Structure 1
Amino acid sequence: MKFALATALAIATAIPAMAQDAARPNILLVLLDDAGFMDFGAYGGDASTPNIDALADRGAIFSRFYTSPQCGPSRAMLMTGRDNHEVGLGSIPETLSPEMRQYPGYSMRWEDGLPTIASRLKEEGYQTFISGKWGIGDIGQNLPHRFGFNRSFVIDATGGSNYDHTPYLPLSDTTNWYEDGKPITLPEGFYSSEGIVDRMINYLDEADPQKPFFSFLSFQAIHFPIQVAPEYRDRYDGRFDEGWDEMRKQRLERAVDLGLVPDGTELAPLPASSRDWENLSPADQSYWARSMQVNAGMLEAADHHLGRLLAHLEAQGKLDNTFVIVTSDNGPESIGIGNAPGAEGVAQRWWMRQTGWNRDFETLGERNTMTFIGEEWASVSAAPFALFKFTATEGGLRVPLVISGPNLPDSDVIDGRAHVTDLVPTMLDFAGLDPVTPDIRGRSLLPMLSGARAAVYGDDEAVGFEVSGNAALYRGNWKISRIPTPLGDGKWHMYDLATDPGETTDLASARPELFQDMLNEYLSYADEVGVVPVSADYNPFKQVGKNVVRKKAREHWPGLLVAGLVTLTFLFVSFRWFRRRLRP
């Protein structure tokens, strides 16, 4: 009798456990590249993003979600839930000076066994897939198949052509794609947003339908070179003809109307290097308006292909049991290749010609075109905030975040502070796992999503960031930040983001005790994670140029040596000849 009762109890408890296991939710993480805070339609952007907007309608959007200002560090934190320095990604390889690599926080390498969200979920029975941009550390050294992904199809670079292997920077001779850790050649007719969704659909079709999945879909869109089919570009004819000065004001108005920022928010001035739209020639206005058309078109195309994946999941009856997270790795990109002044611009354009790139107006955005939006449109994309990618401003750090999923209530804008390191524990929480792990810095956002709590960080709890000398610390509504030259002054400032998200009024001198307390907390954070201060004259953009020169010198030193010897011999012979001619 006792045995029968024990058996009955065991069965009774096992059935709910089995049912719970069978119903474990799927998780789809979607990452856009360089999408600004207001670029999605749900955030008031100009691009048509109906699929992202539908997710927002049945889920939640966040108004205070922070990443790092560079892609590799953000992606490292997104995968691990740890600070970027703790996992060797204190910067990206392109902006890293050689002497920094001796420090653990800047190694650009991951050791085998480093826990990621993929490895943690895989251990619990999840099938794990990635398709798209990886871009974590040195090329080919930290590929996702080593860190928990069952299947992987990735571009391992900060960027590249969306159609083939053409590199977008002189630092590389090709753009490397890998499948399951092995180099591959892209097929004819490839386009990044379409191709990565196709591959993800294939992976899901081959998966065990009885097991849950974690899928990481990582778009190249809208990192430069911005490229898309003409029909997407041409849908935005005339949309950006008013220019960046006017459209930045419009975005501020929409941000206030949508409740993304408080009424009374002021726009920070554009950088001194920015151009006045009204001072451009009609030809230049048309060119730059067309560049932004390409940007909007590429984002719309990415949304379209995301919609194909969502429709596929719905047709299989899986979408209702799938949490979907959509976000960006950092703020919008302000730079490009081919428009620099002086000798630098001459060198860039020579390299572009050698590599097959052009910036022709008629074909702008199509294959082989080097399209980018520049700092002025980047300031629109990041509006109503200051500056953009590479800087520790709100424009560089604050990005959109959309989350939807089973049993989540429809929410208005969630304005509690959240950070990129919070997404790993949030996904663990979605999977029914313990989100509190000693090596993870972040916190689950599920209490905010469910409506149980308005915030997961108290007013006295701080989170710091640092990349390439750009530093910030958030505590409650307060922020201190330091932006190096040329876009900042290299000094610390303090802002009250509750009333001044545009970062227009420095309150460091008005609240000296609070400022010093927060600065001390940042210094403790920097010491804890291994931040190495950069020199006063460090400039990440110039460092890219230095690294290009160093790389080319290493590759071509025999030829340069011969050329130097020939030049010295010619000068020596010429000097002797002139001396003989000058003798009486």
Structure 2
Amino acid sequence: MKNFKINSKFKSPQKGLLITALLVAQFGFAQSKTDANYKGVIGKTLAESKEYWPEPVKAPAGAPNIVWILLDDVGFGASSAFGGLIQTPTFEALANNGLRYTNFHTTAICAPTRAALLTGRNSGRVHVSGFSHTVLSAGFPGWDGKIPADKGTIAEILRENGYNTFAVGKYGVTPDEDATDAGPFDRWPTGKGFDHFFGFLGSQTDQYNPDLVEDQAHVKPDGRHLTDQITDKAIGYIQKQQKAAPGKPFFLYYAPGAVHAPHQVEASWSDAYKGKFDEGWDVYREKVLANQKKLGVIPANAVLPERNALITEWKKLTPDQKKVYARFMEVYAGYLTYTDHEIGRVVNYLKESNQLDNTLIFVAIGDNGASKEGSQVGTISQNLFSKGVSDEQNLQSNLEKIGEIGTAKGLNTNYPLGWAQATNAPFKNWKQDAHSEGGTRNPLIVFYPKGIKEKGGIRNQYSHVTDILPNTLEIAGIKAPEKIKEIKQDIIQGSSLYASLNDAKAESLHKVQYYYIFGNRAIYKDGWKAAAAHLPDSFAVKKTIAKKEVPAASSFDNDVWELYNLNEDFNERNNLAKKYPEKLEELKKLFDEQAKENNLYPLIDWQDVYARRIHNTGVDKGKNLQDLIQQASKPGEAVNK
């Protein structure tokens, strides 16, 4: 052994490994480095070793089951649970045995709301300032539609803390290019923490022939209404999980396509509302305002905003217009009541299986305000953006096809603008209008028998969709993780509502919030709000496309900012911009700071997204907007907005 030496010329990795192996063989036992978390002892023999088995991950003792319910395109004044004229008995029961939050906010459109909800972070910070759809995204950090791995979802957090996790219905934040059966699947629901998923990846789908996905593959629909199918799946997931692991908590994300267009529902549901809306949208608003005051969900001295200039007074409409418009609303109402019924099936199952008392339920009645996308006359199967088709022609088509409203043939069914304003009472404006409470304020119900003492209470604290995640974690006794799958996590931006559950006077912890959807923007701070509408809006896009050229960049400099004190003027009737110019400038500066912090820049609007995407990809410039939208409706691809 004295003469043994290693030739220093042996420098190749392969030779080095061979020599190491020879040395180990000659001189004794060697062990590769073990996991730093391993607490056992590894010796040469079993007798010299000590086994170690890590404890299986378990949720905190007594942790509740968690159910998040998110509806689509429902205005503040639609559901009877918040004074609307559309019957939603399940929501009423949950609210009467839980809490009504009257000052809860979304982002004003679906994908950004869902991204913010699932991550507890602002939509721009998680790269979804617009959509995850190719024609509605852009190549910038706040706009590419791809939620990064360091912005973990509620499902990822809960699964790592002993929960089973299920999602059914609309997902909406999987990039189009990833949405085929070839994947990649890391941005599908199952790649974002859900054990199982059943629903659709896009933002809109035919309810009788949906672009349907189960886990990591597209599947064939069975012909039933999609909401019926997702409810069966949700209950089935819970049943199987509880049979295999009784008492193990679960998280269910229940997000139906309802009541986004197309409005489709069995006639028995819509026919129950025959004649109920013949008095029209003006009377609807007045009745809802009175109901909301009785419930206490709005101030007792509240006054409705003026009717929008785009909407004709109901009594001035023709008999044909009234006939068609009333039927559109009957279908929408039936669709919402049916959706409430299906959610009731899940709640009743939990009650019958003795799980409801320890279940925390959040119900966000809408991911934005009522939809303005049905035009002034409503749509059935016709193309809303078809070239050369006037409102009068659309109305005549709707009259001829009135029997198709709400059926499987009504592939684009959406109600007229007047009903959007009505179901948004007591606010002005609607979906996409991030500058307005009408676009961003939605009802929120919190139900938790084990943790809420006051039943049927009203809560007026300002809150935002990002707050639901930290509130959920606090109730469950779970800390936001520093890492998920060894990836360091970004901060959670939402603020928990926990203190308000049993204290109606608790301070709102959410002090500052920016809003932005395609040019419309606002900034909130401590009850004050500065807001700017941006025109042209989405209805001007078809004119841009018709030019067959790349337009000049959108100008935001001419947008007029307004100022409101929401503490005294909750539905934005009194613009204080001229009275308090210093406050306005302060808030505009804050908007700029928030925009930089949350990846919002560059500001992009509909015209920018569509026209530049068409130019850059070589898509036929002669196609109209709806044609572009429908490109995403093919099997294996996400559906557009």
Q: Is TM-score (shorter-chain normalized) higher than 0.5?
A: yes
The equivalent residue for 2:25 is none
Q: TM-score normalized by structure 2?
A: 0.75
The equivalent residue for 1:44 is 83
- Distance verdict in 2 for CA 1:358–1:114, change over 3 Å: farther
SS in 2 for 1:62: strand
Pair 1:372 & 2:414 matched: yes
Q: In terms of mean alpha carbon deviation, does 448-457 or 381-390 score higher?
A: 448-457
For the 8 Å contact 2:109–2:367, the answer to whether it is kept is: yes
For the 8 Å contact 2:421–2:428, the answer to whether it is kept is: yes
Identity %: 30
SS in 2 for 1:362: helix
Matching residue's letter, 1:190: R
**Superposed displacement of residue 412, structure 1:** 2.1
Pair 1:481 & 2:520 matched: no
**Superposed displacement of residue 264, structure 1:** 3.0
SS in 1 for 2:444: strand
Give the helix-richer structure, 1 or 2. 1
Alignment RMSD (CA, Å) = 3.1
**Superposed displacement of residue 221, structure 1:** 1.0
Instruction: Summarize deviations over 1:323-346 as a string: whole Å, max 9, x none.
Output: 111112111111135374872538
Q: How does 1:551-570 map to 2 (within 5 A)?
A: 553=619
SS in 2 for 1:61: strand
Match of 1:190 among 217, 224, 227: 224
Q: In terms of mean alpha carbon deviation, does 428-437 or 120-129 score higher?
A: 428-437
Instruction: Summarize deviations over 1:533-554 as a string: whole Å, max 9, x none.
Output: 446xx446x9669868998946
Matching residue's letter, 1:425: P
Instruction: Summarize deviations over 1:116-172 as a string: whole Å, max 9, x none.
Output: 00000100000000010001152345311001001111211111111103xxxxxxx
Q: TM-score normalized by structure 1?
A: 0.82
Q: How does 1:282-431 map to 2 (within 5 A)?
A: 282-327=319-364, 328-336=366-374, 337=379, 338=382, 340=384, 343=387, 345=389, 360-369=401-410, 370-392=412-434, 393-405=436-448, 406-409=450-453, 410-431=455-476
Instruction: Summarize deviations over 1:66-118 as a string: whole Å, max 9, x none.
Output: 00011000000000001101111011256966xx6221100112344641000
Pair 1:530 & 2:530 matched: no
SS in 2 for 1:480: strand
Count of residue pairs the alignment pairs up: 518
- Distance verdict in 2 for CA 1:246–1:346, change over 3 Å: closer
**Superposed displacement of residue 445, structure 1:** 0.8
The equivalent residue for 2:312 is 275
The equivalent residue for 2:502 is 450
Match of 1:514 among 583, 601, 610: 583
CA–CA separation in structure 1 for the residues paired with 2:286 and 2:452: 34
CA–CA separation in structure 1 for the residues paired with 2:332 and 2:400: 14
Q: How does 1:143-154 map to 2 (within 5 A)?
A: 143-154=188-199
SS in 2 for 1:85: coil
Matching residue's letter, 1:360: K
**Superposed displacement of residue 248, structure 1:** 1.4
Instruction: Summarize deviations over 1:355-387 as a string: whole Å, max 9, x none.
Output: xx9982123211121321122100111110011
**Superposed displacement of residue 183, structure 1:** 1.5
For the 8 Å contact 1:428–1:434, the answer to whether it is kept is: yes
The equivalent residue for 2:100 is 61
Pair 1:92 & 2:121 matched: no
SS in 2 for 1:424: helix
**Superposed displacement of residue 177, structure 1:** 2.1
For the 8 Å contact 1:429–1:446, the answer to whether it is kept is: yes
- Distance verdict in 2 for CA 1:96–1:415, change over 3 Å: farther
- Distance verdict in 2 for CA 1:96–1:496, change over 3 Å: farther
- Distance verdict in 2 for CA 1:546–1:264, change over 3 Å: farther
CA–CA separation in structure 2 for the residues paired with 1:308 and 1:398: 27
Unaligned runs of 5+ in 1: 1-17, 166-175, 558-584
CA–CA separation in structure 1 for the residues paired with 2:621 and 2:58: 60
The equivalent residue for 1:159 is 204
Greater C-alpha radius of gyration: 2
CA–CA separation in structure 2 for the residues paired with 1:362 and 1:423: 41
- Distance verdict in 2 for CA 1:359–1:264, change over 3 Å: farther
Q: How does 1:223-302 map to 2 (within 5 A)?
A: 223-302=260-339
Matching residue's letter, 1:217: Y
**Superposed displacement of residue 453, structure 1:** 5.0
CA–CA separation in structure 2 for the residues paired with 1:311 and 1:161: 27
